[in-house]
Amino acid sequence: MPAYPEYRYIGKNTQRMDAVDIVTGKTTFLDDFRLPKMLCGKALRSPHAHAMIKRIDAGAAKMVKGVHAVLTYKEVPQSWRVGWPLYRPFMDAKLAYVGDIVALVAADTEEIADEAIDLIEVEYEVLQPVFTALESLAPGAPQVYETLPGNAVPPGYPPFQPHGAFWQIKRGDIKEGFEKAAYIAEDTIHFNKMCPPLSPEPPGAIVRWDGGNNYTVWATTQSNYILKVLNSASMLDANLRIMTFNTGGSYGNKQALVGDVVPAALLSRVTNRPVKFFLSKTLQLGTHETRLGATIQAKIGMDKDGRVCVVQGAWLLDSGAYSDSIQGQVGVGLGEMQLVTSKCKYWDFDTNIAITNKIPAGIVRGYGGQELNSCLGLLIARAMKAGNFDPIECYKKNYVQPGDRYQWRDGLWWECKGSHDYPQAMEESARKFGWKDKWKGWGVPTSVNGRKVTGVGAGIIGNADVGEDNTEAYVKIVPDLGRSDGSKVVVQVDITESGMGQRTNVAKMAAEILDVDMSLVQVTDPDTLSNPTGFGLCGSRGTICYGEAVTKATLDVKSKLLEMASRKLNLPAEELDTREGYVYVKADPEKRVNWKGLWEPDLTIMGYGKHIEQFSTPNFCIFIVEVEVDLDTGLTKILKIVSGTDAGQIIDPKTLEMQMQGGIGAACVDTALYEEHIVDLPTGRLMTTNLIDYKWRPFNEFPAFDTVVLQSQIKNASNHFNAVGVGEISGAAGASAVLMAISNAIGEEVAEYPATPDVVLKAIAKKSAAVATAKKGGC
């Protein structure tokens, strides 16, 4: 075991800076905030999945007292477009999903806006809709947008792929690859129920038009900068300043918020007043972005030692009515696929993206990789079963190791410089789970107790996006006016707190390096105007990206302090260090000078640090699960989960533990059991738009949960503390692991998401029929 460095804050539990505000209800979220003269914005939404507006009359609505604006597509610039590439106007005569915006209203109150909406008269021409990606791309399918012939979304996402589109992997002679394969698995697998991660706080934005192309936006986004980038494109070169409060959960899903920001901006522009556009839970479930739909038609081969050696096939993505970055998710998904099959040399794997008349698919925790893994994981399991391999042993051979190379989302080749210890993390997780005792072989239950059977399964996943996007930070030392000899440390970064505790973690990093009490460190409020660039915390990038920028900025300011003190004390800077606002002589700590006084009174000294995007430090998570299946009802219960990783260095144990536990939520593990958006096919309406009909795991149904976190000190993490972020992927391999566990418990493969009782009973019946046939044949 490596010796862990001893730190003052790093690796120790630290109270989150906003803890008292959170438990007293003082924390501000968007819906708690009001601006003077703010109006309420609402939308009339399409009742049809695919339709043309033949006639629209908003005359009566405009006459309602308290209504300040009604906008139809006729009054909205058609140059404000969404999707990537910008293939449809934000509002148009053409409606592409139930919930698509028909008209916008700004009014004094919500009730007045609702009354006005009821008075808008619309005549629709209902068109034939298309609801699945396969049907959408088939010849003769209804055409959703003229700009996308055949409903096919073109590949490539320039923000991620400036060197050219990356949407397929073609390597080696496939025929040769299959000749080397000892075990083959081939099938079509769907993970296409397009589940919502469903944050407690609905999406929303307040926009104030400031004249010209300038807008100030307060939003529920977890990433100000991503919102700025994507809305600036949709709103035709708008100059946006984005600010956030605390965000009430996002799970990657509240980022661009184009569906909220653009309506509020349009209404603010015509009313010259701030407009709040905040969705209800019904609208969040019924219109806000979901997970993308994934289907793979693939054939994979595994060699005699259990290494995936060849992959052939295609990944079909359902983007719903539009998506502003699905090609980016293709890139990440393909990247993650290579991490779990890192020894594979033969590839012929393609992707296709289809438009359907469903609600838009957007950014969600897992970002393409999870959806693809949920499909691919089942095929890998089938190949492992064919070779009778123990999955844990097999995963150890297949997961990326330092020196392995892969093409990441940018299409470029990267060499893994991550942890050497991921196989050890797998082993220790398996040990903690009791895998050796519980694993009885493929299709064999762990235990049988009357009509209740148990089974175990495991999945792995990893993501190199933890080093994504350039990030910068300033760390400033400013006078503390409350203390005559005091100073404060200000970490100037653009980080929204959406639950991960990273605002506190960057403060810990600065406090650690400067060796000061945490109470002296402040982090600036999230705001794109007053902070340097940062893409927020998506992709678990906080630890590496913000970590590197903040630690470099802190080291920079520290070296300035030591240099100034060196001149004052007439000693070399190397002989000095700093603690609690003083620079002291290492050999004689009593000899010290206060920071204040090292430079001109009332002024600031500042350090700068940046992180430059790199994809060479993939993280990792193994998810091991035990389920119990009732053979009579088909109901599956998760009994136990062990989630394991190597974090390099733990920054905050409890918050990391909760990130690991968070893999149960946000449409991760339970997409294997009961989470699904159900579309009423004749109409295209979602039937799961409230928290009763959409199923989620309540407090009294949580299984035993344990974690394994190694700390191998990953040098390439480059954030001074050798730590990588883990949170995003903690539950990403959970869904395929659960299906593996169910299949083992009942002795028949289940490959359908979610494995609701009817799906499980069907599989049990199939097995019983096979047994009966075998017996009959035997007679």
Partner 1 sequence: MRDRTTIPLEKLTTSISVNLAEDMQEQGKEFITLKINGQEYEFSVGSRLGQVAPCETLSRTLRDRLNLTGSKESCGQGACGCCTVIMDGDAVTSCMLLTVECAGKEITTIEGLRDPVTGKLSDIQQAFIDYYAFQCGYCTPGIIMTSKALLDKNPNSSKEEIAEALAGNYCRCISQYHVIDAVKHVAEAQRGN
Per CB under 8 A, which of residues 219..248 are in contact with partner 1? 246-248
Kindly state the smallest distance separating residue 407's Cβ from partner 1, in Å. Answer: 33
Please report how close the Cβ of residue 543 comes to partner 1 at its closest, in angstroms.
16
Beta bridge partners of 43: 104
CB-based burial of residue 324 (10 Å sphere; 0-12 exposed, 13-18 middle, 19+ buried)? buried
Q: With respect to partner 1, which residue has the nearer C-beta, 459 or 665?
A: 665
Report the alpha-carbon distance of residue 49 to residue 131 in Å, rounded. Answer: 9
Residues 558-617 that bind partner 1 (CB under 8 A): none
Q: What's the sign of the alpha-carbon dihedral 405, 406, 412, 416?
A: negative
Q: Which is nearer to partner 1, 281 or 637 (CB)?
A: 281
Beta carbons within 10 angstroms of residue 94's beta carbon:
18
Largest CA distance in the chain: 99
Give the tokens for residue 663: 């893999």
Q: What's the CA gap between 240 and 497, in Å, rounded?
A: 20
Please give the Cα distance from 88 to 351 (Å, whole number).
22
Strands 605-611 and 471-479 come out as antiparallel
* Of 177 and 286, CB closest to partner 1: 286
Binding status of residue 467 toward partner 1 by CB under 8 A: no
Q: Considering only residues 5, 32, 415, 441, which one is a binding residue for partner 1 as defined by CB under 8 A?
A: 32
Q: Does 654 bind partner 1 (CB under 8 A)?
A: yes
Q: H/E element holding 72?
A: strand 67-72
Residue with tokens 């707190």: 497
Contact between 220 and 248 under an 8 Å Cβ cutoff? The reply is yes
Q: Is residue 60 within the footprint of partner 1 (CB under 8 A)?
A: no
Q: For partner 1, which residue of 12, 417, 637, 685 counts as binding (CB under 8 A)? A: 685
Contact residues for 443 (Cβ-Cβ < 8 A; gap 6+)? 385, 743, 744, 747, 748, 749
- Least Å distance, CB 117 to partner 1, is 6
123 contacts: CB under 8 Å, gap ≥ 6: 53, 54, 55, 56
Q: Tell me which residues in 244-273 interact with partner 1 (CB under 8 A).
A: 246-251
Kindly tell me which of 243 and 668 has the beta carbon lying closer to partner 1.
668
Q: Are 166 and 411 in contact (CB under 8 A)?
A: yes
249 versus 457: smaller Cβ distance to partner 1: 249
Taking CB under 8 A as the criterion, the residue among 4, 696, 715, 773 binding partner 1 is 696
Q: How far is the CB of 31 from partner 1 (least distance, A)?
A: 7
Give the count of beta carbons closer than 10 Å to the beta carbon of residue 436.
10
- Written in H, E and C, the secondary structure of 494-507 is CCCCCCCCHHHHHH
28 touches partner 1 (CB under 8 A): yes
What number of helices (H) and strands (E) belong to the chain?
18, 34
| Main-chain phi, psi angles of 23, to 5 degrees | -80, -10
> Which residues, numbered 269-298, are part of the site for partner 1 (CB under 8 A)?
280-283, 286
Collapsing DSSP to helix, strand or coil, 212 comes out as: coil
Q: Quote the CA–CA distance of 283 and 263 in Å, as a whole number.
A: 14
Residue 13 as a binder of partner 1 (CB under 8 A): the answer is yes
> Does residue 31 touch partner 1 according to CB under 8 A?
yes
Instruction: Please tell me the distance from the alpha carbon of residue 176 to that of residue 344, in angstroms, as a whole number.
Output: 12
Q: How far is the CB of 700 from partner 1 (least distance, A)?
A: 4
Burial (CB < 10 A; 0-12, 13-18, 19+), residue 212, is: exposed
Residue 779 CA to residue 772 CA, distance in Å, equals 11
> Mask 318-357, x = binds partner 1 (CB under 8 A)?
----------------------------------------
Cβ of residue 28: shortest distance to partner 1, in angstroms?
A: 8
User: How many beta carbons lie within 10 A of that of residue 448, not counting itself?
Assistant: 12
Q: If 0-12 CB within 10 Å is exposed, 13-18 middle and 19+ buried, where does residue 185 land?
A: buried
51-57 and 94-95 strand pairing: antiparallel
On whether the CB atoms of residues 107 and 68 are closer than 8 A, the answer is yes
Q: Least Å distance between CB 280 and partner 1?
A: 5
Q: Is 499 in the site for partner 1 (CB under 8 A)?
A: yes
The SS3 call for residue 51 is: strand
Interface with partner 1, residue 123, by CB under 8 A: no
Element (H, E) at 195: none
The yes or no reply on residue 691 touching partner 1 (CB under 8 A) is yes
- Smallest separation, CB 681 to partner 1 (Å): 17
CB closer to partner 1 out of 42 and 476: 42
* The one among 46, 327, 338, 370 contacting partner 1 by CB under 8 A: 46
Q: Which of 423, 634, 644, 663 binds partner 1 (CB under 8 A)?
A: 663
User: Which listed residue (333, 534, 609, 662) binds partner 1 by CB under 8 A?
Assistant: 662
Smallest gap from residue 42 Cβ to partner 1 (A): 6
Min separation Cβ 564 and partner 1, Å: 38
Beta strand pairing call for 521-523 and 487-492:
parallel
Q: Which is nearer to partner 1, 242 or 666 (CB)?
A: 666
Among 79, 213, 690, 773, which residue sits at the site for partner 1 (rule: CB under 8 A)? 690
Q: How far is the CB of 245 from partner 1 (least distance, A)?
A: 11
Q: Is residue 200 involved in binding partner 1 (CB under 8 A)?
A: yes
The answer to whether 771 contacts partner 1 (rule: CB under 8 A) is no
- Per CB under 8 A, the segment of 13-21, 314-322, 577-585, 732-740 that binds partner 1 is 13-21
Window 158-197: residues binding partner 1 (CB under 8 A):
197
Restricting to residues 697-726, which ones interact with partner 1 according to CB under 8 A?
Answer: 698-700, 702, 705
Q: Per-residue contact track with partner 1, 95 to 114, x per CB under 8 A?
A: ---xx-----------x--x
- With CB under 8 A, what is the number of residues at the site for partner 1? 69
Counting contacts by CB under 8 A, is residue 778 touching partner 1? Answer: no
DSSP state of 596: T
Minimum distance, C-beta of residue 27 to partner 1, in the bound complex (Å): 6
| Cβ proximity to partner 1, 245 vs 442, nearer residue | 245
The one among 1, 3, 23, 774 contacting partner 1 by CB under 8 A: 23
Return d(Cα 219, Cα 468) in angstroms, integer: 23
Asked whether 240 and 231 are in contact (CB, 8 A), the reply is: yes
623 binds partner 1 (CB under 8 A): no
Interacting residues with partner 1 (CB under 8 A): 13, 15-16, 18-20, 22-29, 31-32, 42, 44-47, 98-99, 111, 114, 117-118, 197-202, 246-251, 280-283, 286, 497-501, 654-655, 658, 661-666, 685, 689-692, 696, 698-700, 702, 705
